[in-house]
A and B are shown apart, each in its own frame.
Chain A
Amino acid sequence: MRDIISSTFILLLSILTCIGATRLQIGSFSAPGSGFFPFALGVVMGCLSFGLLLKTGFEREIVRGKEPFCGFRGIKVLFLLFSLVLYGFFVERIGYTLTTFLLFIFLLRGINPQKWYVVIGGALFASLGSYAMFQLALKVQLPRGFLGM
């Protein structure tokens, strides 16, 4: 099942790639255009994903492996990804230190709950310590936000 899902997805992606490539200029063999190489890649991906689909379909023995999301504890995974996206949205508006502080509160408390003093101490240390290291010592330009840091 695992391979049927993934190969079907890539097959669709390869078709979309070929369609997208034809909208660019494909050109000819003697003068290949912008879409030539992506079109060729789309064809290669299509053939390979079709091959994988065939292989999975023709496999006589049923492989009783673990399915990809068997025993899925994905809520943490989704939360973590979501927190990264939120961080991206707010870091330039609020500023590096405060956003990082809030992110660490979430990571240390939300993903795998630690004691509150560890959470607050860790978040403070991470946000201020990393600001000092990157912005002040290494002169990496971090987003300032309304707090100016």
Chain B
Amino acid sequence: MLGNKHLHIDPADQLSDWLGKAMRSASRGTIAIDFEGKPAARITADNGSIAVNLLEPAAFKISEDETGLFDKLKTASELASRLSDNSVTLSFLRKDKEVVRLGKGAHPTLSKLVTRSDDVQMSSVREFRKLKKDLKAG
């Protein structure tokens, strides 16, 4: 539901709940994604921790929409809360460097001032800016 600034995840929403549980069920292992023969991403699961490493972030460009970065962070914090409920930690990396961590294993410091959530950790503002630039559709 896109309303009042950001995309909300309803507390009773089963889809996000299922997502959290499904991610929990992949206990360990790796999925490598190659795009046109080049490594684009690597997803690693390790007992409740899922790391999504975007090795070629430009391959995942997203189109502009009506929500801004701050709004997206608010949505992320709602998803992160669901992940925490399912004891899942989801982290995004850009070229092996951690950008943001959501869910149970997140330990926010300054980023809590922005997201007002205990479940979103901004690991590197510098890498976050780079990733934002990479993902911006040209």
Do A and B interact? no
